[in-house]
Amino acid sequence: METLLVVIFVIGYLAITLEHNLKIDKLIPALAMMAILWALMAFGIDGFGTWFDSGNHALLENFGAFGHEEKMELMEETLLHHLGKTAEILVFLIGAMTIVEIIDYFDGFATIKSFVRTRNKKKILWIFSFLAFVLSAIIDNLTATIVLISILQKIVKDREVRLWYAGLIIIAANAGGAWSPIGDVTTTMLWIGDKVSTAMLIEHLLIPSLVCMLVPSFIASFLPAFQGEMDFQEDDGVKSKFGPKMLYLGLGAIVFVPIFKTVTHLPPYVGMMLSLAVVATFAEIYSNSKIAISSVDHESDAAAHHSPVHSALTKIELPSILFFLGILMAVAALESLGLLFNFAEGLKQGMPMMGTEMAGTQVSDLVVILLGIGSAIIDNVPLVAASLGMFSEPMDDQLWHFIAYSAGTGGSMLIIGSAAGVVAMGMEKIDFFWYLKKISWLAFVGFIAGAICYMFMRYLF
């Protein structure tokens, strides 16, 4: 039965990876895979001899001797446990996405356009690289990419030039998301899963992530695409006078979430809901529209149609939320049977250590680097979800920081390797092979430079 479950997971995984070839949204195989895996586990529960206790991160003793009812009850408890942990991530993401959409409702991101006051292509490259690095750490790499490419489309006429800028934005956004607990879905997963803390994550990854951004941008600044002056398109103007206020309020509210968690020790989604409530309140005041989200009568619905909160909720990436639900719960199914735990033990015994025992880590640096390279080929969310079930190292262990870096930045090596890359691909119709030829080598150099920087800092301090 275990073999069948692994085969189904691999098939579902391939369907997710090949979504562009199959022309099927990746949420479909993710949700189907989740349901089928848990259904088969329910049917074959009596045939399993091992069960993984997620709370203690160890295999449950004498599971094979349990009766059918005991096993079913344990499976239901495990399913509920993983659903709760997954829901924490999803509710957090929904809150963050809604705040970003509220900012966009007031055209708040147009304020960022004012930072671009030069026509020199090289200077513009550095401006967008640093903007992507900083913004992605606050509003996540996916949203930062959308915002910056939208601005790019308004000021750069030449599409070929825009493609080059978009490629470097992807690298910088993924690098910026790696060192922030709210900058990338995978980093958020590690943070909510109590594998990394905000302060230690920033301390260990800020410099390596910065190197990962600086090296490709520095090399690219000497390429022909970034030489000379640029012709700008005319500015369309700002839609709302409240845009700047909502931008700073929204970004401040998101940054407040890690502070809230540190002070209260409550899960991050609680702080995100508080931030959303504050931002939504000001949004409703500024829009002069009455809140009527929960109303069902026609009069209230007409009023709610003009509500910035209502508008934001209709624009959030619900397909991404459902995809995360499916893939995280599918990985949880394999974890519950102890398959990931056993796989991790095999990795620890079979791979060379490369000296990481000095830092207290029992997993090879090579394994983590391969995980980063693998995240360029397949989605980094299931890879990190699997690592959560594979390794039992304590909070803020060097392993978790390195995984956060590798999974966060490794996806830049292919256009389909990260959410930022996929959305840029859609917005600018970037060809897979164009990116592979022009940008991938820059991303690889940056990834390796940052990894070397991380390992050097780890041994130094």
Q: Is residue 420 classed as helix, strand or coil in its secondary structure?
A: helix
| Size of the chain, expressed as the number of residues it contains | 461
Tell whether the torsion through CA atoms of 267, 269, 270 and 274 is positive or negative.
Answer: positive
pLDDT digits (tens, 9 = 90+) for 132-155: 999 899 888 887 888 888 788 777
pLDDT of residue 255: 84
Cα angle for residues 447, 450, 456 (degrees, 5° grid): 140
Angle at which helix 68-105 crosses helix 185-192, to 10 degrees, equals: 130
Cα angle for residues 21, 26, 28 (degrees, 5° grid): 115
| Rounded Cα gap, residues 378 and 236, in angstroms | 39
Cα angle for residues 342, 26, 148 (degrees, 5° grid): 110
pLDDT of residue 291: 43
Burial of residue 334 (CB within 10 Å: 0-12, 13-18, 19+) is buried
pLDDT of residue 348: 59
Mean pLDDT taken over the chain: 82
- What residues of the chain score a pLDDT lower than 50? 289-304, 353-362
Domain residue spans in the chain?
89-318
Structure-block tokens of residue 393: 């190292």
pLDDT of residue 40: 92
| Beta bridge mates, 156 | 232
Whether residue 242 contacts residue 286, with contact meaning beta carbons closer than 8 Å, is answered with yes
How would you classify the pairing of strands 58-59 and 52-53? antiparallel
Count Cβ atoms below 10 Å from residue 244 Cβ, excluding itself.
17
Whether residue 374 contacts residue 347, with contact meaning beta carbons closer than 8 Å, is answered with no
pLDDT digits (tens, 9 = 90+) for 288-306: 744 444 444 444 444 445 6
| Rounded Cα gap, residues 184 and 375, in angstroms | 13
pLDDT of residue 297: 44
How far, in whole angstroms, is CA 9 from its chain's centroid? 21
The candidate with the shortest Cα–Cα distance to 411, out of 401, 402, 400, 422, is 422
pLDDT of residue 313: 86
pTM exceeds 0.85 for this model: no
